[in-house]
Structure formats: C-alpha cells, structure tokens
C-alpha cells in the first residue's frame, strides 16, 4: 500500500466554533480539520456575552485560539463594549485578537453611528493591547477607509480585513496602512473573478486564509455548512492565483498568520 502522506499545515484564521451549527459535533469537526492539515484556527466571539463560551473552546483545544468583540450588526443590540473591558479580556493567554468589529451597512445601515463608535473603541483596544483587530466590512467602503485611516494617523495599530470581498480601493487603503487581507470561500466561487484579481494584486506576505465557518463554504461544498477543514479548498484556489504549489501557499499564509497574530505564535512555541 502507498504510504499515507500528511497534508501541509495551514491556519483557518477566522471561524465561529461556538455557533449552534457545530453543537454536539465539535470534536468531529476538529478531527476533520486536523486530517485536512488545518492544525490551528482562530474562533471569533461576535457578542461579548458569548466570550466565556468561546474562551472555553480555546482552552479545551490546543490548536484553537480566540478573539473577542462586538460584531457591527449587533452594535445597536448589545451593550457598547468598553476599551477597559476589551483590554481586560485580552489578558487571557489564548485571546489573540480584538473583534470582530467593523461596519456593515447592507442590513444594518440604521445603526451606522453606533457601529462607528464601536469600531473606534475596538481600535483603541487594539492599540493598547498590541493585538490585531479583525475587521468586518460590507457596503461601507467609504466610511471604513476614512475611519481606519483617521485612526491610524492618530496612533498605529494592526488589523486584518476578514473575509475580504469589498472594492479594490478599500483593499489598497488597507494594504497602504500595513493591514492584511483574508481570503474566504467567496474567492473560490466561479464568478468571483474581480475578487481574485484583487488578491492577485496584493502582496503575498499580506494574505491570510479563512472559512468564516459555518458560512460561505467554498466549492465543492458551496451551499452547505462550512467548517475549518474546508480552508484547504480556498487555499488551493489561492495557490492557483499565485502560481504556487499548495504546500508553499499554505506555508506562506501560515507564516503570515504568525506574524500578525504573534501572541498565538508565542503560545505555540511555549506549549
């Protein structure tokens, strides 16, 4: 029998393992991820009242880290996060990012003011902790570019534009600020030619890969529940974009994750 090969290691830089979609099945989901080479993942808290549950998942699994914040679509429904609150949460050794935060005017434009206030609070927490911010942007490119730029001039901070599917102009703004772009399953959809062109024009050392599981499963699982194992499908498309072997793309994007989420890299080295 041919010798079984181990797939290259890769990181799912954004998923939601606390969501009910994975209830009662998390151990199997994580086992499938490991079998696919996804040995590390960053699970994201979208409402601070869910932070204890998200933290417990990270505490219970060596390859899982977490971030905490208030999603922009919840900014008007949840208590406004405080800088001190986020800074205190960030003392946990496996909390490695701030967010996700951002702006989403697609469904929740009426809460634009609260979203912008929340975004600025998360930026200040990112500054004070030195942790990167995870940014959600949809249908708000102008305000997003303006606020990110204004705040960066006021004091630098790091960030990743998660599940990037916005304009080339916003990508350019983010990259000019030193931020990263994260490639989700959307980049693997057949009709996403313009989005793939945006990634192709970006520096390879500024790209991450994610699932945003349980959402946005890439082909051949499109329309079904997404899970961290499917990072490999999106990464295969990323490798094609840059004309690289899958293993090289996996290695580079994993190194990018370690550079941005340095706290996760340090925890892994010390473990």
- The model's pLDDT over 41-61, given as tens digits with 9 standing for 90+, comes to 999 999 999 999 999 999 999
Which helix (H) or strand (E) covers residue 99, if one does? strand 95-104
What percentage of the chain has pLDDT greater than the value 90? 96
For the chain, what are the domain ranges? 10-270
The pLDDT, as a whole number, for residue 3 is 56
HSE (side-chain half, CA atoms, 13 Å) at 81: 37
According to DSSP, the residues that pair with 42 across neighbouring strands are: 65
N-to-C CA span, the chain = 35
Mean pLDDT of 209-233: 97
Residue 269: which pLDDT band, with cuts at 50, 70 and 90? confident
Burial-class residue 46 by CB neighbours within 10 Å (0-12, 13-18, 19+): buried
Q: Which homologous superfamily does the CATH classification assign to the domain defined by 10-270?
A: Metal-dependent hydrolases (3.20.20.140)
Q: Starting at the edge strand that comes first in sequence, how are the strands of the sheet with 207-209 ordered?
A: 10-15, 38-45, 64-68, 95-104, 133-138, 159-161, 180-183, 207-209
Q: 8: cis peptide before it, omega within 30°? A: no
Mode of pairing for the β-strands spanning 159-161 and 38-45:
unpaired
Number of DSSP helices (H) and strands (E) in the chain, helices first = 11, 8
Query: Two tokens at 160?
Result: 């990743």
Confidence check: pLDDT of 147 > 90: yes
Give which of 166, 230, 195 is closest to 10, Cα–Cα: 230
Residue 18: which pLDDT band, with cuts at 50, 70 and 90? very high
Backbone angles phi, psi at 194, to 5 degrees: -65, -40
Write the DSSP string, 127-182.
Answer: HHH-PPEEEEEES-HHHHHHHHHHHHHHS---EEETT--S-HHHHHHHHHTT-EEE
Give the integer Cα–Cα distance in Å for 215 and 175.
Answer: 25
Q: Which residue reads 């959402």 in tokens?
A: 215
The pLDDT, as a whole number, for residue 55 is 98
Local structure of residue 44 (DSSP, 8 states): E
Tell me the pLDDT tens digit for each residue of 73-99.
999 999 999 999 999 999 999 999 999
């Amino acid at each position: 029998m041919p010798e079984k090969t181990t797939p290259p290691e890769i990181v799912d830089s954004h998923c939601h393992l606390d969501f009910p979609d994975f209830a009662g099945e998390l151990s199997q989901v994580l086992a499938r991820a490991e079998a696919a080479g996804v040995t590390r993942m960053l699970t994201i808290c979208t409402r601070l009242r869910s932070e204890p549950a998200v933290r417990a998942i990270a505490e219970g699994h060596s390859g899982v880290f977490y971030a905490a914040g208030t999603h922009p679509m919840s900014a008007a429904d949840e208590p406004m996060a405080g800088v001190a609150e986020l800074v205190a949460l960030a003392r946990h050794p496996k909390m490695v990012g701030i967010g996700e935060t951002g702006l989403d005017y697609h469904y929740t434009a009426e809460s634009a003011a609260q979203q912008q206030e929340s975004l600025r609070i998360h930026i200040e927490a990112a500054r004070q902790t030195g942790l990167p911010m995870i940014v959600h942007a949809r249908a708000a490119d102008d305000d997003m570019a303006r606020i990110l730029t204004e705040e960066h001039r006021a004091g630098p901070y790091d960030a990743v534009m998660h599940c990037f599917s916005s304009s080339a102009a916003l990508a350019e703004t983010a990259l000019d600020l030193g931020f990263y772009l994260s490639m989700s399953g959307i980049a693997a959809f057949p009709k996403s030619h313009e989005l793939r062109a945006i990634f192709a024009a970006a520096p390879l050392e500024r790209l991450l890969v994610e699932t945003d599981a349980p959402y946005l499963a890439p082909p051949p699982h499109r329309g079904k529940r997404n899970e961290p194992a499917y990072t490999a499908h999106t990464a295969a498309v990323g490798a094609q974009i840059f004309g690289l072997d899958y293993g090289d793309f996996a290695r580079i994007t994993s190194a990018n994750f370690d550079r941005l989420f340095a706290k996760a890299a340090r925890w892994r080295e010390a473990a």
